[in-house]
A and B are shown apart, each in its own frame.
Chain A
Amino acid sequence: MRALLVLATALLPARARAQRIDSIPPWQSAIRTIAIDERLATDAGLRVGDRVALAAEPGQAIGDTVRIVAIVRRRADPSEVARSEYRVRTHLDQLQRIIGYGDRVDRYAIATAGGAAADSALRRINAVAFGFRAYPSREIAVETSKTFLVVSRFHRAIGMITIVASATFLLCIMLLKVDERRRDVAAMRLMGISRATVVRTVVLESSFVALLGSLFGVGLGFVTSAFVNAHYQAVYRTPLRFAIITPDTVAYSVLLSLVLGIGAGALAARRLAGTPPLTLFGR
Chain B
Amino acid sequence: MRFQLAALSLRRHASRTILAVLGVAVSAAMLLDMVMLATGMRQSFASLLGRNGFTIRVSPRGTLPFDTEATIAQARDATVAMRRIAGVTAVAPVLGATIHVLGGPNPVTAFALGVDPAVQGDYELLEGRDPMAENALVASDALLRATGARIGDTLDVAIGFDPQTRTYTGRRRVTVTGRARFTYLSAEDRAAALRLASVQAMGGADRTDRVSLFMVRTAPNADPEVARLAIERALPRVTALSTAGAVAEAERRLSYFRQLAFILGAVSLVVGFLLVTTIVTVSVNERIGEIAIMRAIGVSRSHVVHQIVIEGIGLSVAGAVAGLILGVFTARYLNSILRGFPGLPDAIDFFLFQPNSALRALALLVASGIAAGIYPAWRAASLPISATLREEAVG
Which listed residue (B62, B70, B163, B236) contacts A3, Cβ 8 A?
B70
A260 to B371, CA, bound (A): 28
**When A150-B338, A154-B338 are in contact, do A1 and B61 touch as well, CB less than 8 Å?**
no
Inter-subunit contact A58/B237 (CB<8 Å): yes
Inter-subunit contact B26/A4 (CB<8 Å): no
Which listed residue (A6, A82, A132, A172) contacts B62, Cβ 8 A?
A6
Inter-subunit contact B256/A172 (CB<8 Å): no
Which listed residue (A3, A82, A132, A172) contacts B279, Cβ 8 A?
A172
Which listed residue (B164, B255, B334) contacts A157, Cβ 8 A?
B334
A161 to B71, CA, bound (A): 46
**When A58-B60, A172-B20, A281-B395 are in contact, do A165 and B278 touch as well, CB less than 8 Å?**
no
Inter-subunit contact A179/B60 (CB<8 Å): no
Residues of chain B within 8 A of A164, CB atoms compared: 26
A residues contacting the other copy or chain, number (CB 8 A): 40
Inter-subunit contact B395/A4 (CB<8 Å): no
The digit string for B33-65, where 1 denotes a CB below 8 A from any CB of A, is: 100000000000000000000000000111100
Residues of chain B within 8 A of A162, CB atoms compared: 30, 264
Inter-subunit contact B29/A161 (CB<8 Å): yes
Query: Could you tell me the distance in whole angstroms from the C-beta of A79 to the nearest C-beta in chain B?
Result: 12
Residues of chain B within 8 A of A232, CB atoms compared: 256
Which listed residue (B15, B162, B255, B333) contacts A235, Cβ 8 A?
B255
* Total cross-chain contacts (CB, 8 A): 106
Decide yes or no whether A153 CB sits under 8 A from chain B: yes
Residues of chain A within 8 A of B68, CB atoms compared: 1, 4
* Chain B residue nearest to A131 in the complex (CB): B163
Which listed residue (B30, B62, B341) contacts A58, Cβ 8 A?
B62
Decide yes or no whether B340 CB sits under 8 A from chain A: yes
A252 to B111, CA, bound (A): 46
The digit string for A122-164, where 1 denotes a CB below 8 A from any CB of B, is: 0000000011100000000000001101100110011001101
A58 to B279, CA, bound (A): 65
Residues of chain B within 8 A of A281, CB atoms compared: 395
Inter-subunit contact B164/A168 (CB<8 Å): no
Q: Is the interface of A mostly helix, strand, loop or mixed?
A: helix
Inter-subunit contact A2/B16 (CB<8 Å): no
The digit string for A183-204, where 1 denotes a CB below 8 A from any CB of B, is: 0000000000000000000000
Residues of chain A within 8 A of B71, CB atoms compared: 3
Most buried by B among A1, A131, A132, A158: A158
Decide yes or no whether B268 CB sits under 8 A from chain A: yes
Residues of chain B within 8 A of A146, CB atoms compared: 342
Most buried by A among B69, B70, B253, B285: B70
* Chain B residue nearest to A160 in the complex (CB): B330
Inter-subunit contact A58/B23 (CB<8 Å): no
Inter-subunit contact A154/B337 (CB<8 Å): yes
Which listed residue (A6, A84, A165, A176) contacts B30, Cβ 8 A?
A165
CB within 8 Å of B: which A51-75 residues: 57-59
Decide yes or no whether B78 CB sits under 8 A from chain A: no
Query: Could you tell me the distance in whole angstroms from the C-beta of A53 to the nearest C-beta in chain B?
Result: 15
Residues of chain B within 8 A of A176, CB atoms compared: 16, 278-279, 282
Residues of chain B within 8 A of A59, CB atoms compared: 61, 236-237
A131 to B167, CA, bound (A): 9
Residues of chain B within 8 A of A157, CB atoms compared: 333-334, 337
**When A2-B69, A58-B60 are in contact, do A161 and B330 touch as well, CB less than 8 Å?**
yes
* Chain B residue nearest to A182 in the complex (CB): B286
* Chain B residue nearest to A132 in the complex (CB): B163
Residues of chain A within 8 A of B271, CB atoms compared: 165-166, 169
Decide yes or no whether A245 CB sits under 8 A from chain B: no
Most buried by A among B29, B252, B254, B341: B341
Residues of chain A within 8 A of B151, CB atoms compared: none
**When A147-B342, A172-B23, A175-B16 are in contact, do A158 and B161 touch as well, CB less than 8 Å?**
no
CB within 8 Å of A: which B210-269 residues: 236-237, 252-256, 260, 264, 268
A104 to B312, CA, bound (A): 71
Query: Could you tell me the distance in whole angstroms from the C-beta of B298 to the nearest C-beta in chain A?
Result: 24
Most buried by B among A57, A146, A176, A235: A176
Decide yes or no whether B88 CB sits under 8 A from chain A: no
Decide yes or no whether B101 CB sits under 8 A from chain A: no
Decide yes or no whether B133 CB sits under 8 A from chain A: no
Decide yes or no whether A180 CB sits under 8 A from chain B: yes
Decide yes or no whether A211 CB sits under 8 A from chain B: no
Residues of chain A within 8 A of B282, CB atoms compared: 176, 179-180
A130 to B162, CA, bound (A): 10
Inter-subunit contact A165/B268 (CB<8 Å): yes
List 18 interface pairs A-B (beta carbons < 8 Å), by A numbering: A1-B68, A1-B69, A2-B206, A3-B71, A58-B61, A84-B252, A131-B164, A149-B340, A150-B337, A157-B337, A158-B260, A162-B30, A165-B23, A166-B271, A168-B26, A173-B278, A175-B16, A179-B16
Residues of B in contact with A (beta carbons under 8 Å apart):
15-16, 19-20, 22-23, 26-27, 29-30, 33, 60-63, 67-71, 73, 161-164, 166, 206, 236-237, 252-256, 260, 264, 268, 271, 274-275, 278-279, 282, 285, 330, 333-334, 337-338, 340-342, 395
Interface pairs A-B: 10 shortest CB-CB: A131-B163, A4-B70, A58-B61, A168-B23, A165-B26, A82-B253, A150-B340, A172-B19, A176-B282, A154-B337
